[in-house]
Amino acid sequence: MQWLGFRGARGGRSVDGKPAFANGAGNVFQQARRHLLDEIAAFLLTYELDVTPNNLLTAHGAFSGSNPALARKIAQHVTAGLAVTQEWLDEITAADETIDKHDGIQHLMARLETTLESFSKNANDTRSATADYTDELEQHVAELDQVQGTGQILSSLADLAKAMLERTRKLETDMRRSEEEAKALRRSLEKARREAEIDHMTGLPNRRAFEAVLEREYRDARASFDPLTVAFCDIDHFKRINDTHGHDAGDRVIRLIAEMLATISDDNCHVARHGGEEFVMLFRGISLSEAHKKLDGLREQMAERRLRNRKTDEPLGQITFSAGIADVFDFSDPRAALKAADEALYTAKQGGRNQVIIAPKGGAQAA
């Protein structure tokens, strides 16, 4: 840090020798940034990871709260006593890279749609102007035809006007066809966008769609003073299900949990597949305790069921899920609430699984 010019990096001192955070609340953000940098540096140095753009982005996502699921995977890996290797880190971030690429495609789709809208408007305006011009030209041609004994000049002028009339009619037809093609392309684009926001295994909205819903609901709920609660759910011992009964059985379990969670989905309750065996939910208009009761009721229903492997007829045994839940307005922003819910989920996993943990404001968890 001193080599980069931050001479106050050591000993908590600033350049003028005073404590680095002696200026009060104005330096809270500086302290937070420094803490984040320390965490990223410690992570890379502890596990001897190269200082590459990808590793820096991964560490930032894990420690800044922007990717709570990634942070939890790393915490579980470390808690299990396993080393964080470059190969393992690349493997768990592969899905996020796919999402980033997907978001890039979505951005290009949005730009294309904007261009199409602009083209359609211009085509419509041009066609309208052409139609008006055609009507007026047609009237002039008719007037010229009615003049008796016009002579050679007027006759040539009439022929020229007729030729222009024919061309403008063709132009109007072409513009109308272009409008229809643009409308058809926009419909196809809208269909592609809807399909891109659906998780095809479960039929639920995917992570990207949920983030858009969260942003909208947060804005509306804050304006109308409605309660807003977010929750993360994760299937317990899912790897064991896959390893023992195969991925087909694991996929059926994911679909079953998705169907159960979707039973309480409505205009004020949004359920999405966040990735892998993890789901995310958003409750609006009901209190934190009511949302907890709904989710815990589903957990109990799932725990009471006994499933069998359709292919082998072997029992799958008890299938359960754990969850963490947080009041969005107990935190500074939706991302902080998501991180708190994810940390509560991690606490539920560490505390025996098959339970829903509430994350109160302040970071402590309570059942």
pLDDT at 67: 78
Can you identify the CATH homologous superfamily of domain 207-358?
Reverse transcriptase/Diguanylate cyclase domain (3.30.70.270)
E strand spans, the chain? 228-235, 269-275, 278-284, 306-308, 315-318, 321-327, 356-358
Q: What is the pLDDT of residue 107?
A: 57
Q: Are strands 315-318 and 278-284 parallel, antiparallel or unpaired?
A: unpaired
Which of these ranges, 5-19, 27-41, 156-170, 308-322, has the smallest mean pLDDT?
5-19
Q: What pLDDT, on a 0 to 100 scale, did the predictor assign at position 144?
A: 57
Q: Under a CB-based contact definition with an 8 Å cutoff, are residues 293 and 241 in contact? A: no
Predicted confidence (pLDDT) at residue 5 exceeds the cutoff of 70: no
- The segment with the largest mean pLDDT, out of 15-24, 26-35, 142-151, is 26-35
| Angle formed by the axes of helices 247-262 and 288-304, nearest 10° | 140
- What are the CA-CA distances from residue 326 to residues 134, 220, 254, 297 (Å)? 64, 18, 23, 17
Give per-residue pLDDT as tens, 141-180: 566 556 554 555 556 666 656 666 677 777 667 777 777 7
Ordered by start, the domain boundaries in the chain are 29-98, 102-197, 207-358
Neighbours of 219 (CB within 10 A): 11
* b/e map 193-203, b = 16+ CB within 10 Å: eeeebebeebe
Whole-Å CA distances, 211 to 81, 117, 331, 334: 33, 25, 17, 10
CB neighbour list of residue 40: distance below 8 Å, 6 or more residues apart = 56, 59, 60, 63
- The sign of the dihedral angle between the CA atoms of 202, 266, 68, 207 is positive
pLDDT band at 3 (very low <50, low <70, confident <90, very high): very low
Q: What is the pLDDT of residues 265-324, one digit of tens each?
A: 888 899 999 988 999 999 999 999 999 999 999 999 999 988 888 778 888 889 999 999
For residue 294, what are the contacts with CB-CB under 8 A and spacing of at least 6? 264, 269, 283, 286
Retrieve residue 52's tokens: 């590459």
Query: Mean pLDDT over residues 224-233, rounded?
Result: 96
Residue 272 and residue 205 in contact, taking contact as beta carbons nearer than 8 Å: yes
**Does position 209 have pLDDT exceeding 60, yes or no?**
yes
Contact predicate 234/345, CB 8 Å: yes
b/e map of 134-163 (b: 16 or more CB within 10 Å)?
beebeeebeebeeeeeeeeeeeeebeebee
Residue found under tokens 């039929």: 203
Residue 159 is predicted with a pLDDT of 65
Query: 264 or 182, which is more confident?
Result: 264
Judge whether residue 30 has pLDDT over 50: yes
- What pLDDT, on the 0 to 100 scale, is given for residue 160? 59
Residue 314 one-letter amino acid: E
State the pLDDT confidence band at 231, using cuts at 50, 70 and 90.
very high
- Would the pLDDT of 197 be above 70? yes
- CA dist 161 and 137 (Å) reads 7
Residue 81 has pLDDT above 90, yes or no: no
